[in-house]
Chains A and B, each alone.
Chain A
Amino acid sequence: MLIFEKSVQGRAAQAQSPHLQKDAVRIDSSLLRQTKPCLPEVSELETVRHFTNLSRKNFSIDTNFYPLGSCTMKYNPRAAHQFASDEKFLNQHPYIDDDYKQGTLQCLYELQHTIKSVTGMTAVSLTPMAGAQGEFAGVAMIRAYHDERGDKQREEIIVPDAAHGTNPATAFMCGYKVREVATLSDSGDVDLTALKAVLSEKTAGIMLTNPSTLGVFERKIKEIADLTHEAGGLLYYDGANLNAIMGKVRPGDMGFDVMHLNLHKTFATPHGGGGPGAGPVAANSKLAKYLPVPVVQKTATGRYILVDETHYPHSIGKLSTFFGNTGVLIRAYIYAKMLGGNGLTQASTLATLNANYLMTALHKAGFTLAYPQRRASHEFIITLEPEHKIYGITALDVAKCLLDRGIHAPTMYFPLLVAECLLIEPTETESKQQLDEFVDAMIAIRQMMIENAEQLKQAPQKLPVTRLDEVKAAKTLDLVWSE
C-alpha cells in the first residue's frame, strides 16, 4: 500500500512542523502556490511503520549474500557509517572557511594519498560523485590534453566490446566517436591485431578495465599501452575492478594515464539502494593539471586548503556544486585507514581466493566456465548456454530461483559477449561456508532444471511479488500515484 493511500486529510506528524504565530508572508500573491502538493498526511508512527515495512521488502548486504558481478557488494563496516555521522562532520556548511573544517579536509587529503598509493598515480581529485562522473572527468581530461596541444583531429575513443555501457556513453558526452575493438573469444584478452587496425592519428584514447569485465587479467596490457601511446593516444582505466588488484599491481604501472575509482565498491561505502557513490579520478603527471576542482592541498604550515581554478587553470572545471559526495569520501577514508596497506592487500588476496574457489567449485559441480583456461580475478563468468539448450531455461530463470533461496542474483547478461551468462563476484567478506551454500543452491537449481523446469521458470515464489510485467510498465508508464 502506498503512503498516499494511508493519508487522512488534516493528520500530521505534529512534532515536526515549525510553530507559526502568524502565517503572513511578504511575498507578492502572484508568486504563491494555490494548490496543495500531493504529500501524504500521516502521523509519525504511520511513517515509521510504513518505511520500516518497506525496507523489509529489500535484499541488502546486511541481510543476504550478494554476489553481484562488477559491483563489489562487500560488507560496509558500521564503524565507517557511525564515525562519519558525527555532528562534527554533518553540521558543517560547505562554505565555511577552511579554518573551520580542517578535520574534514584532513580526511580528504589523506584519502587522496591512499588513492595515489593504491593506483600508482601522482594526483587525485575526489569530486566526481559516481563512477560514471569519474569516467567523464577522465575522458574530458584526455580531451583537454589533446586540445591544448592543438591535436584536434583526435576524435575517436576505443572501447572493447566487453566494456561497461557507461564507457561509450561517456565518450559520447565528451564529444568523441566510439570505435569498438574485439575481444578474443578463447582467452578474453583484447585482440591486438584488431586494436592495431583501429589505432590511428584519430585515436584520442582507449578505455579499459583490468581485470576486464570478463573476470580475467589482460596479460598484454603493456603492449596495449605501448601501442596506444605510440599512436599518440592515452589510456583510461575504469576502476570498477580495482578490488582485484590492490597491493598486487597498479594501473599507473600498467601504463594508464588516468583512471577513476568506485569507492562504493572497492572502499566499501554503502550503495544506498543506488547511490550515493563516489568516483575519484586519479592521473599521472601528464594529465594531473587537468583534474576537476576543487582539490585538497596541505600548506607548508600543515594547514589543509581547498584549491580551485586559480591553482589549476587547466582544470576541466567543477563537476559538483560543492565538494562531491563528502560524506561518502569520509566513510571511504575510515575504511581505508582501518584496513591499512596490509588490509587492503589482504582484501584483494581473499576476494581473488573466494572467486577462484567458487569458480572451481561450480566447475566441479558441472557448470560451464566462460574462460576455463584462465584464473579468475575477483569475479568470473559461467555460461548457462548448455543448460539453456538442454532444458530450455535461461540465466534469468536461474537468477530468479536464487532469489527464492535468499541469495541475490549475480549480474546477468553482462558482459554482452557471453550468452546466458552470470557474472559472479563473491567479495572477500564472505566465508567459505557462504560460498559452499551458494554452490549447493546452484546444484539444487540444476536438479530442478532436470526434474521440473517449468517450476523453475515460475521463480521467484517466496518474495513480495512474482515476476513483473515490464512490458506493461513501459507501455502504460504509470509513474506517479493519483487518486
Chain B
Amino acid sequence: MSFTPHTPEDIALMLNSIGIDSVEQLFDEIPSAIRIEGLPDLADGINEMAMGREIKKISAGNKNLLNFIGAGAYQHHIPSAVWQLAGRGELLTAYTPYQAEASQGSLQIIFEFQTMIASLCGMDVANASMYDGASALAESILMAVRANKKTTSKKIVIADSIHPCYLNVMNSITRYQGIEIQCVETDRYNDVNTLKSAAHESFAAVVLPQPNFLGQLTRVDAITDWAHQHHALVIGLVNPVTLGLLKEPGSWGARGADIVCGEGQPLGVPLAGGGPYFGFMACKKQFIRQMPGRIVGKTTDTNGKTGYCLTLQAREQHIRRSKATSNICTNQGLLMTVATIYMSLLGPQGLKNVAIKSHQNTARLIELLNTVKQVHCVYADNFCHEMVIQVPSSAKSVLKKMADRGVAGGYDLATLGQAWADKLLVCSTEVHNENDLQQFITVLKTAIEDV
C-alpha cells in the first residue's frame, strides 16, 4: 500500500528508458556485503479500511477524562473553524516558504502571527515560532547571552519556580555552550530582595515566569528594574492566553522585558498527548539579529505590489552554517497557523474573556474546595488559573482514585521533591461549567475517603 501510481507497464517503460532490465539494478552501487532484501521483520501493509479497524482497537486503550491538569498544557475551547481551515491541503501539505511567490499564503499568515504575538507580548518583533515552550526558553537563553554586550557572563538567573521539564530541556540544550543556570527560590510574591542576596555576581539575563509553575503571579516590575540595573536582560516566560488579561512583558518595570517566550499550545492547539505544540519568541527590535528561527518581512515585488518573504536568513544555518544563531531550520508552521486563526476568531475581547473565565472558574473551585474537609488550598490568592492544593495522603494515590472515576484531578507535585508529595497542581479553564467543578469536588471527596 505504498500510495504509488505505477502500473507494470509504466515500470517496464521507465526501465527501458533508463536502459536496465530490473529495478534492482538501480541499487547496484550499494556494496553487496551490506545489502538487505526487504524488511521481513515488519508485517505486510494493510488498506485503509483495515487500518481504520486497527486504529479503533488501539485508540480504545486511551481513556478521555474530565481534565483539571494544566502544568504547561492547557485545555481551552477550540473553535471548529480553526482546524477545518488549518487542515486545508494548501496549508497542511506545503513546505517551508522558500519559494516566496508560491507561498504568499503561508508567508502572510506568518506576518500576521508575528504581529499578533509581538503585540500580545508588548514587543517590537516576533519570529515565526519555535518547537515548543521549553525549547523556546532554551533558545531565548542562548540568544540573551549573545545579545547582552554589556557583560561576558554566561550566567542565567531564574527567578522563581519554572516547570521542572523546562529546566531539564534547558540544561540538555545549553550545557555545551558554557551556560551556567542559577535557580533562585523566591517567596510566593517573588520578593526582589531574595534575588538580591542570591545573585550578586554579574549575570547575562534573568528568566521571569508569569505566572510561575505553581500558578502564582510574579511581581514582575521590581525584578525587571533590578535586573536592568545590573545590566542583565530580562526574559519573560509567559502563557499567551493569560496575556489577554495580564500586563504584557513589554510594560514590565520601567523599560520592559527584552525577550519574551513561552508555550503557544493554549492558542487553539489540542492537548493531544503532549504535541505537536509550538513555542513563540518575541523581542525588542535591537536584538532581532540574535533571534533564531524563521522571520518574515514585508516587501514589494517588481511591480511595486506588496508581498512577503523570509528575511534575515543570513543568520540561519543554511547560510551561516556553524556560526548560525541556532541549528533550527523549521518552525511549527501548522500550529502557528492554528494560533493565528484562533487569535483572529477570539479577538482582543474574546481572548481576555477566556483568561477571565478561566481565572473565575479557578476562583470558584477554590471556594468549593473550602468545603472539603482535609483539603487545604496552599495558595488561595495571587493565582491566575492554576493553584496548589494539599491532600491528606499522597497526591499520587488521590489522583489514581480520581482517574478511576473519570477525572484527571491535577498534576502530582512530587516531581518537585518529597515535601511536595501531598500536593496537587490544579487548573480550571473556561471549558468547565458549574457541573464540571461540582464533579471535581465530588470525585475528590470520594477519592480521599477511599485512600
User: Is B392 an interface residue when CB atoms closer than 8 A count as contact?
Assistant: no
Residues of B within 8 Å of A319, CB to CB, are: 135, 169, 172-173
For residue B23, give the distance in angstroms from its CB to the closest CB of chain A.
Answer: 5
Contact of A30 with B221 at beta-carbon distance under 8 Å, contacts A375-B26, A414-B318, A466-B302 already known: yes
Contact of A473 among B58, B298, B340 (CB under 8 A): B298
B64/A92 in contact, CB under 8 A = yes
Residues of B within 8 Å of A473, CB to CB, are: 297-299, 309, 311
Chain A 423-478 residues near chain B, CB threshold 8 A: 428-432, 458, 460, 463-470, 472-474, 476-478
Residues of A within 8 Å of B296, CB to CB, are: 479
Contact of A60 with B90 at beta-carbon distance under 8 Å, contacts A36-B348, A321-B163 already known: yes
User: Is A71 an interface residue when CB atoms closer than 8 A count as contact?
Assistant: yes
Chain B 112-140 residues near chain A, CB threshold 8 A: 112, 114-116, 118-120, 122, 124-126, 128-129, 131-135
Residues of A within 8 Å of B5, CB to CB, are: 429-432
Chain A 247-282 residues near chain B, CB threshold 8 A: 247-250, 253-254, 268, 270-277
Among A163-171, A194-202, A384-392, the stretch in contact with B: A163-171
Give Cα distance in the complex from A175 to B178, angstroms: 9
Q: Other than the known A100-B63, A249-B34, what 20 A-B pairs have Cβ atoms closer than 8 Å?
A: A24-B360, A27-B245, A40-B344, A51-B109, A58-B90, A92-B271, A93-B408, A168-B322, A171-B322, A174-B176, A175-B177, A254-B34, A270-B334, A275-B330, A340-B46, A356-B18, A399-B99, A465-B301, A478-B298, A480-B114
User: Is B337 an interface residue when CB atoms closer than 8 A count as contact?
Assistant: yes
Residues of A within 8 Å of B271, CB to CB, are: 90-94
Residues of B within 8 Å of A135, CB to CB, are: 327
Q: How many residues of A contact B (CB 8 A)?
A: 196
B45/A342 in contact, CB under 8 A = yes
Residues of A within 8 Å of B118, CB to CB, are: 479-480
Give Cα distance in the complex from A431 to B11, angstroms: 10
Contact of A480 with B115 at beta-carbon distance under 8 Å, contacts A17-B350, A62-B90, A216-B29 already known: yes
User: Is A183 an interface residue when CB atoms closer than 8 A count as contact?
Assistant: no
B275/A325 in contact, CB under 8 A = yes
Complex A-B: 5 CB contacts under 8 Å: A16-B346, A166-B329, A338-B51, A432-B5, A465-B104
B348/A41 in contact, CB under 8 A = yes
A344/B2 in contact, CB under 8 A = yes
Chain B 255-306 residues near chain A, CB threshold 8 A: 263, 270-278, 285, 288, 294-303, 305
Contact of A18 among B10, B357, B384 (CB under 8 A): B357
Contact of A474 with B322 at beta-carbon distance under 8 Å, contacts A343-B2, A343-B45 already known: no
A33/B35 in contact, CB under 8 A = no
Chain B 232-253 residues near chain A, CB threshold 8 A: 243-248, 251
Give Cα distance in the complex from A166 to B19, angstroms: 37
Residues of A within 8 Å of B40, CB to CB, are: 341
Chain A residue nearest in CB terms to B411: A95
User: Is A283 an interface residue when CB atoms closer than 8 A count as contact?
Assistant: no
Chain B residue nearest in CB terms to A117: B41
Chain A residue nearest in CB terms to B124: A480
Among B79-87, B223-231, B370-378, the stretch in contact with A: B79-87
* B168, B317, B318, B322, most chain A CB atoms within 10 A: B322
B294/A274 in contact, CB under 8 A = yes
B47/A17 in contact, CB under 8 A = no
B169/A318 in contact, CB under 8 A = yes
What sequence of 0s and 1s flags, for each residue 1-26 of chain B, a beta carbon within 8 Å of any chain A beta carbon?
11111100011011101110001001
Contact of A56 among B90, B131, B308 (CB under 8 A): B90
A338/B47 in contact, CB under 8 A = yes
Give Cα distance in the complex from A400 to B26, angstroms: 31
What sequence of 0s and 1s flags, for each residue 67-97 of chain A, a beta carbon within 8 Å of any chain B beta carbon?
0100101111101010101111111111111
For residue A153, give the distance in angstroms from its CB to the closest CB of chain B.
Answer: 16
Residues of B within 8 Å of A3, CB to CB, are: 112, 344
Give Cα distance in the complex from A337 to B295, angstroms: 37
For residue B62, give the distance in angstroms from its CB to the closest CB of chain A.
Answer: 4
Give Cα distance in the complex from A253 to B329, angstroms: 29
User: Is B60 an interface residue when CB atoms closer than 8 A count as contact?
Assistant: yes
Give Cα distance in the complex from A132 to B41, angstroms: 28
User: Is A61 an interface residue when CB atoms closer than 8 A count as contact?
Assistant: yes
Chain B residue nearest in CB terms to A6: B344
What sequence of 0s and 1s flags, for each residue 1-32 of chain A, a beta carbon within 8 Å of any chain B beta carbon?
01110000001110111111011111110111
Residues of B within 8 Å of A247, CB to CB, are: 36-39
B270/A90 in contact, CB under 8 A = yes
Chain B 316-341 residues near chain A, CB threshold 8 A: 316-324, 326-335, 337, 340-341
User: Is B106 an interface residue when CB atoms closer than 8 A count as contact?
Assistant: yes
For residue B8, give the distance in angstroms from its CB to the closest CB of chain A.
Answer: 12
Among B68-76, B144-152, B191-199, B436-444, the stretch in contact with A: B68-76
For residue A97, give the distance in angstroms from its CB to the closest CB of chain B.
Answer: 6
Chain A residue nearest in CB terms to B240: A37
Chain A residue nearest in CB terms to B81: A48
B359/A132 in contact, CB under 8 A = no
A93/B62 in contact, CB under 8 A = no
B39/A271 in contact, CB under 8 A = no
Chain A residue nearest in CB terms to B100: A468
Give Cα distance in the complex from A99 to B31, angstroms: 46
Residues of B within 8 Å of A4, CB to CB, are: 112, 115
What sequence of 0s and 1s flags, for each residue 36-61 of chain B, a beta carbon within 8 Å of any chain A beta carbon?
11111111111110011011001111
Chain A 267-308 residues near chain B, CB threshold 8 A: 268, 270-277, 292
Residues of A within 8 Å of B177, CB to CB, are: 173, 175
B36/A250 in contact, CB under 8 A = yes
Chain B residue nearest in CB terms to A321: B134
Contact of A55 among B27, B90, B125 (CB under 8 A): B90
A32/B59 in contact, CB under 8 A = no
Give Cα distance in the complex from A118 to B381, angstroms: 54
Give Cα distance in the complex from A408 to B93, angstroms: 13
Chain A residue nearest in CB terms to B33: A222
Give Cα distance in the complex from A85 to B340, angstroms: 20
A428/B4 in contact, CB under 8 A = yes
B41/A341 in contact, CB under 8 A = yes
Contact of B276 among A95, A99, A328 (CB under 8 A): A328
Give Cα distance in the complex from A375 to B129, angstroms: 39
User: Is B183 an interface residue when CB atoms closer than 8 A count as contact?
Assistant: no
A472/B300 in contact, CB under 8 A = yes
User: Is A345 an interface residue when CB atoms closer than 8 A count as contact?
Assistant: yes
User: Is B202 an interface residue when CB atoms closer than 8 A count as contact?
Assistant: no
User: Is A353 an interface residue when CB atoms closer than 8 A count as contact?
Assistant: yes
For residue A320, give the distance in angstroms from its CB to the closest CB of chain B.
Answer: 5
B69/A96 in contact, CB under 8 A = yes
User: Is A228 an interface residue when CB atoms closer than 8 A count as contact?
Assistant: no
Contact of B321 among A165, A346, A350 (CB under 8 A): A165
Residues of A within 8 Å of B102, CB to CB, are: 58-59, 64, 403, 408-409, 460, 463
For residue A28, give the distance in angstroms from its CB to the closest CB of chain B.
Answer: 7
Give Cα distance in the complex from A172 to B381, angstroms: 46
For residue B215, give the distance in angstroms from its CB to the closest CB of chain A.
Answer: 12
Contact of A16 with B77 at beta-carbon distance under 8 Å, contacts A58-B91, A356-B18 already known: yes
For residue A86, give the distance in angstroms from its CB to the closest CB of chain B.
Answer: 6
User: Is A368 an interface residue when CB atoms closer than 8 A count as contact?
Assistant: no
Contact of B263 among A52, A86, A93, A321 (CB under 8 A): A321
Residues of A within 8 Å of B294, CB to CB, are: 274
User: Is A146 an interface residue when CB atoms closer than 8 A count as contact?
Assistant: no
B93/A130 in contact, CB under 8 A = no
* A39, A41, A276, A324, most chain B CB atoms within 10 A: A39
For residue B303, give the distance in angstroms from its CB to the closest CB of chain A.
Answer: 6
Give Cα distance in the complex from A382 to B277, angstroms: 38
For residue B386, give the distance in angstroms from its CB to the closest CB of chain A.
Answer: 13
Residues of B within 8 Å of A57, CB to CB, are: 103-105, 108
